[in-house]
Structure 1
Amino acid sequence: MTATLYNQEILRLAASVPFDARLPDPHGSAERRSPICGSRVTVDVNLDDAGRIAEIGMRVRACALGQASSALMAKGAVGKSPEELNAVSDALTAWLAGGETPPDWPELDLFAPALPHSARHPSIRLAFEAAAEAAEAARQKAPAR
């Protein structure tokens, strides 16, 4: 039996996204867009003194999978370093492309039903890619410690 792509948990997460909650003066921002479906996610971050995510804001204009992925990313991003966000983004890409295990991020295994649907993968990756890019931009902009 095949799991449902848009299951109840995905839809619940999609409904929990703060669709337009950008930060007023972020340390770093990035926008990612899926050319396949037009989904778009903008992520703003502020870093703390240790160079970790202290605050995150987002504007999400995406399908249910992109919204759900954005919700999961936002739930776990605070406290992560730019390197950690980049690593999870890379691991998510690898898993969706056929890797054996989901990334070490809470609940990302909810997207297992999307694995055979490669056209849906870019939407799932958007928030993680944008968060990694925004965090890196903020790190580069930060004064040397």
Structure 2
Amino acid sequence: MSAETDLIKLYSGRILALAADMPRTERLAAPTATAKRRAPLCGSTVTVDLKIEDGIVTDYAQDVKACALGQASAAILGKVIVGLSVAEIQTGRDALHAMLKSDGPVPAAPFAELEVLQPAKDYKNRHASIMLAFDATLDAISETQATA
């Protein structure tokens, strides 16, 4: 396959559709915590606001300035995060990381849709952007735990 064909495969219609339909883009008025992450290689950034009660995310917002792959990952996270525990989010993040870095399996529900990002495992320079929303979210959660 040529490099151009590989890129077309990488930026599939499903990825572009996810990127175009980003949920939870309105910032929260009074978040429990906010965190911002930046991928140094590409300059992508994700800022998240969240509300968390008793270890469960009760509200979430994201400002995503990333490539379509980073946007797709953030869109999937944004669709499922409310109602999840900190442990479930960490498990999803770790499974995504393993899928990209060590040919791990597709993350389990509620993150199974991350399967769409499997072709990106061969593009290491895109991994940081794909991980941004999860990492920023866990940073925000850590902030809430540090002040509790």
**TM-score range relative to shorter protein:** 0.7 to 0.9
Give yes or no for the alignment of 1:34 onto 2:2: no
Q: Which residue of structure 1 aligns with residue 90 of structure 2?
A: 86
Amino-acid identity (%): 42
Following superposition, the deviation at residue 98 of structure 1 comes to 1.7
Q: Which residue of structure 2 aligns with residue 129 of structure 1?
A: 135
- Inter-CA distance 19–88: structure 2 relative to 1 (3 Å threshold): closer
- Root-mean-square deviation (Å): 1.8
Q: Which residue of structure 1 aligns with residue 21 of structure 2?
A: 16
Q: Which residue of structure 2 aligns with residue 117 of structure 1?
A: 123
**Contact 2:95–2:104 under 8 Å retained in 1:** no
Extract unaligned runs of 5+ from structure 1. Answer: none
**How many pairs are equivalent?**
141
TM-score using structure 2 length: 0.86
**Contact 1:27–1:44 under 8 Å retained in 2:** yes
Counterpart Cα distance in 2 of 1:65 and 1:87: 20
Secondary structure of 2:129 counterpart: helix
Following superposition, the deviation at residue 19 of structure 1 comes to 7.9
Q: Which moved more, 1:12-21 or 1:110-119?
A: 12-21
| Residue deviations 1:83-116 (CA, integer Å, cap 9, x gap) | 2212221221122102330222130000011111
Q: Which residue of structure 1 aligns with residue 80 of structure 2?
A: 76
Counterpart Cα distance in 2 of 1:52 and 1:135: 10
**Contact 1:46–1:138 under 8 Å retained in 2:** no
If each structure's helix is expressed as a fraction of its own residues, which one has the higher value? 2
Counterpart among 113, 126, 138 of residue 144 in structure 2? 138
Counterpart Cα distance in 1 of 2:55 and 2:87: 10
Q: Which residue of structure 1 aligns with residue 9 of structure 2?
A: 4
| Residue deviations 1:37-80 (CA, integer Å, cap 9, x gap) | 100001111013x3200000111111111111110011111111
